[in-house]
Structures are given as structure tokens and as C-alpha cells.
Structure 1
Amino acid sequence: MSMLKAYKFRIANKRYEFAHQVSRDLVNRFGLIAFEDLSIQNMLKNHCLAKSISDVAWNMLVTLTSYKAASAGSVVIPADPRNTSKMCSRCGIRVEKTLSDRVHNCPHCGLSVDRDWNAAINILRLGLQSVGIKTVEACPF
């Protein structure tokens, strides 16, 4: 085996082991896990992002978490990714952003929080709603 193949094999094994560790931790800690139902194949068509998306192995993490959750009695919910980072997690108003905007600033309710944190709250709310749990307030802030 060439040095390059051995290197790629070692990196792939590290990625696989890391995904196993993270998925096991998620299943051990949570009874409900919500993931954005992203179209990874479509995202890989963007040649600027394809290598980075492949490197983090999103599909592998979701797959491993799903099968471990099924055997542990946990639930994995795919959440519709539309507008999860644009919708304000406190008041629900849609705040337009570009991809370079890293902070969610709502002009309606004044919430200022990291864009990814705002999206995570919205994804969790969608996951809870999909199993019939109504959320009174979107954000505890």
C-alpha cells in the first residue's frame, strides 16, 4: 500500500471512530436528537465547499446516531432545514441574512445571538413539535 493510501485510510478510520464516539455520547445523553435534514448530495455540488462537507462526514454521524438511538430507545428526528437560521428563535419573525452574517440580530424582539445557536434552537423546536410536544416560548433568553 502506498504512503498516500495508508494516510487516507488512517484519516478515514479516525473520522469513523470520532463519529462513533460523538453518536454514542449523543444517544447516551439525550432521548430526542434532532438533526437538520440536509441534502448533502446537493451541497457537495458546490465545489468550494465539497471537501469541507465531506471531511466532517455529516451523513455518517446521522446514520450512526440513528441506528444507536433505535437500539437504545432514543428518537432521532430529521428537521426541515428551511429558514432555521433566518427565523428568530424568540419571536419567530424571519430575519434575512447572508452566509457571512454570523450573528442573528432580531429587529423585532432585540434577540442577539450566534447564528448557529439560533438555528440549533429552531431545529430542536421543530424536532419537539414533530413528536407532538408544543413549545410555549421558542427561546429561554
Structure 2
Amino acid sequence: MKTLKLRIKDRHYKALDQLASEVNFVWNYVNDLSFKHLKRKGEFLSSYDIDKYTKGASKECGLHSQTIQAISAELVTRRKQFKKAKLKWRVSNKKSARRSLGWIPFKKVAIKYADGFVQYGKHQFKIWDSYGLSQYSIKTGSFVEDARGRWYVCLVVDSPKTEKSTGTKAIGIDLGLKDIATCSDGTVISNPKFYRQYEQKLGIAQRAKNKKCVRALHAKIANSR
């Protein structure tokens, strides 16, 4: 399995922002519910127990029922991972410095793909299909927002079967810092130093406190890697 990340067209951002706000509402509710149950009973709620309290909420929130179940499962997983009784509150207000980036999880049955569109419930989102999704079997995934406000759909898919290599030769590779790799046949792959080409511009933007420019430069650096 592998994860594919595809960008969603800008015209769908308003609908995605609204769905993300509903996800944050559900997250905060189950987070608070779990904590109150812990204080009252001295034990944690499982994702199965939480699902009993959120049954039927999909009609009111406009979210798929599988999304609400995925939120509960994610909360329980992260609670165990970080060993905390209560996790952080998710903030939807865009003017807040603590705003949480948009996140809308879903399971396999909640999404369909056809003709360049990803269908989630009643919504259809046009994407840039650079992978040819029709050849993959989708397992699960989520809609995610980056720091610049751009939305993507991340899909966990089964990798298509490939024929086994018939190669008979072997080559040794020595990884390093000055050069990324040195091969046994003498080939040297130099370090492209992606950060250096943006270092000066990034410093200027940070000193000018231009947050929009800083976010854009960080995204370019990460994408170059």
C-alpha cells in the first residue's frame, strides 16, 4: 500500500472549510465526552463506545457516518499514542493564531472516484489526477489543508502489481552528507541543497514578518525535497 496526495481545485475550498468546521465540532465533542467519562467512571471510552453517542449525528453535521467513526477512532489512537487523558481542542476560527488546519477523514465506503471527480456524500470535488486513480483500489484517506489554505485529498491505495525484475547485475551505494550517494561504479550524486536557494529570500521574509510569503517559501522548500 501507498499514499497518494492530489490537489483539489480552488473553487471547492468554501465547502471543504465548512466540512472541516463540522469535523472540529465532532472532535471537540467526543474529546470532552471521553474526558468527562474518565473523571466520572475512572475508565476510558473506546471508539466503539463513542460511536453510540454520535449515532445519527451525520444528518445534522452534513458529514458521512464513516467520517464520524473515523474521528472517534483517531481520537482513541492519538490518546493512547501520547498517553493523555484529553487531547488538544481543534479551533476553526481562521483569525485565531491557534487555528487547526482542515482535516476530514473518511473510510472506503464514504468516497467514490470517477472522471476526475472525488465524490464525498453529496459533494463532488474536482482534482488534478496526476496518478491515474482509476487503476488503484482506494482503502481509506482524508481531505487535508496546508498552511497556505490549499486543500488536498490523501488516499491510501493498493499498489498495482508489477513484474519482478529480471536484472542480474548489482551495484553498491554509499550514502553520505556532502554527496547524497556514491555508487560502486563511480557515479556520484551530489547534494542539491534545496534549502540554500531559498535561504536568503526566507530570511528577508521572516525579518519583514511577511507570514504569507514565509508559508509559501517553506512549502516550496518542502516540495523541492
TM over 0.5: no
Structure with the bigger percentage of strand = 2
Greater helix percent: which structure?
A: 1
Which structure: larger Rg?
2
